[in-house]
Amino acid sequence: MDINSFGIKKTLETLRIKDKNQGSSTGSEWFGDSSDYLKSYSPADGQLIAEVGVSTSEDYEKAITKATEAFKSWRLLPAPKRGEIVRQIGDKLREYKTELGKLVSYEMGKSYQEGLGEVQEMIDICDFAVGLSRQLHGLTMHSERAHHRMYEQYHPIGVVGIISAFNFPVAVWSWNTMLAWVCGDVCIWKPSEKTPLCAVACQNIISEVFKANDVPEGVSCLVNGDYKIGELISNDSRIPLVSATGSTRMGKKVGAAVGARLGKALLELGGNNAIIISEDANLKIAVTGALFGAVGTCGQRCTSTRRLIIHDSIYDKVKEQLKNAYGQLKIGNPLDESNHVGPLIDTQAVEMYSSALEKIKAQGGKILVEGGVLEGDDYASGCYVKPVVAEANNEMEIVQTETFAPILYLMKYSSIEEAITLQNSVAQGLSSAIMTSNLLEAEKFLSHDGSDCGIANVNIGTSGAEIGGAFGGEKETGGGRESGSDAWKIYMRRQTNTINYGKDLPLAQGIKFDI
């Protein structure tokens, strides 16, 4: 595919992406004279899209200094005024939705429709944050002492560090940033080194709004680079909250570093998500949900469906329907909307996929839908693979491991209790689902002894979440919550206030201290 196909050249020009882009920004100013560059290659065709300068430790220091200073004035701007600026960002994203969605698709490899959907998530969280800016509420409580009033309020926490992953190169950043901004915080962002251009584009877009509103330089800082930049953020005591999205292995390192300095970490890590398919399931819904969950984004979502736990009475029927559905999948260029599945992010991901297939066979699994790396002119990047379906045992080591690739494991169950036990018997706890028309099964799945995941769905797949609900998981997924509901509270510090408006000083718990 030529880089000019599908309007890629125009997309880069519209988003002000150059052949060589500076890697550090404090909002309105781009800086950094690095001699080292990140080369961004598209997994769609293997072509070099552009290069981005690697932020040095000096660049990082300049950014965090600007952010710390900007916080002093940004926090004093009334929350609805901050919300108004976020509203304008939402409008600007609507203006750039087509081009930014295309860049997400081309740089990351997800389908164009998914790229557009990711930008829509950014727009949605802007809308959510605007409303939130007038609802940053506290609580009023009755005091045990006469002529006293007690209440709670929330204050901005400060600089929020954001470490994001390649699979959602813009949406997850916006979940954190838009809420943090209306809460009065400022942000410093280290995007994935695999998708740096999406970050540059976002910074270019918001800079238009910031300049029009005289937003202080440093409210939105960008530092591009590898894990070393992430380590600077994690270990920096000037950053009270670090939000990190990625693998459990990475999250443990971030959590340990932030915890060692008694900071706060918001961790969104790995998933090993299952769908239970009941004998009372609507199989059309079940198969469709499982198919998209397993192959959407080429299996590179933290909410991707990894395991199907199927009632033994319908196991063979579901297996055959899945095999037929997989046989109809079209794999190819993600910007071609006739294709269902795009590439993996890079050849390293392909190696992990191939290794997983070998382990399935070595550990006793049975391949039902064969995999393999696709070859030919249409797959010249070397990143296109066939989605795989395998029969497996839940205790197999490879099944217990999150493989970021389109590999789906099938297993049987006899009772709902057995199914839930299988569902919960992994280290991760992000997303889960049950397909059933049986009310008792659905309610049990959602009960205290049901799914142990942060997300539990009925007749909806594991993949795809609306911004209105808090997003996150338990166990090795990290326990963090982002996006909707009351997730905003983590971006603020909580304070309890007591006011004495009387003429005496009674002590709590009736303590006497007379002089």
Is 302 in the active site?
A: yes
- The active-site residue out of 126, 183, 302, 383 is 302
d(CA 140, CA 11): 51
Contact 187, 177 (CB under 8 A): yes
Reading the block at residue 337, the tokens are 């909307």
The whole-number mean pLDDT for each consecutive block of 10 residues of the chain, a chain of 515 residues, reads: 73 97 93 88 97 96 98 98 98 98 98 97 98 96 96 98 98 98 98 98 98 97 96 98 97 98 98 98 98 98 98 98 97 96 98 98 98 96 98 98 98 98 98 98 98 98 93 97 97 98 94 88
Close Cβ partners of 242 (under 8 Å, ≥ 6 residues apart): 160, 161, 162, 163, 233, 234, 254, 258, 263, 264, 265, 266
**Residue 197: how many CA atoms within 13 Å on its side-chain side?**
29
Q: Where are the beta strands (DSSP E) in 402-505?
A: 407-413, 428-429, 431-435, 455-458, 470-471, 474-475, 482-483, 492-500
**What's this model's pTM, rounded to 2 decimal places?**
0.96
* Distance set, CA 45 to CA 10, 37, 108, 381 (Å): 17, 21, 11, 5
Q: Which pLDDT score, from 0 to 100, does residue 267 have?
A: 98
Contact 387, 408 (CB under 8 A): yes
* Length of the chain (residues): 515
Reading the block at residue 140, the tokens are 């009023």
Q: Which pLDDT score, from 0 to 100, does residue 515 have?
A: 82
Collapsing DSSP to helix, strand or coil, 264 comes out as strand
CATH class, 273-466 region: alpha beta
d(CA 169, CA 195): 6
Is 183 in the active site?
A: no
- The active-site residue out of 118, 268, 402, 441 is 268
Domain range summary for the chain, segments of one domain joined by + = 5-269+478-494, 273-466
Contact 471, 480 (CB under 8 A): no
State the first-to-last Cα distance of the chain, in angstroms, to the nearest integer. 87
3.20.20.70, 3.30.565.10, 3.30.70.520, 3.40.605.10: which CATH number matches 5-269+478-494? 3.40.605.10
Contact 59, 33 (CB under 8 A): no
* Distance set, CA 500 to CA 154, 177, 445, 497 (Å): 20, 38, 49, 10
Q: Which pLDDT score, from 0 to 100, does residue 4 have?
A: 59
CA 18 from centroid of its chain's CA atoms? 27
Asked whether the CA dihedral 394, 396, 397, 399 is positive or negative, the reply is negative
Per DSSP, what are the bridge partners of residue 456? 432
Q: Which pLDDT score, from 0 to 100, does residue 28 have?
A: 83
Close Cβ partners of 503 (under 8 Å, ≥ 6 residues apart): 147
Q: Which pLDDT score, from 0 to 100, does residue 33 have?
A: 73
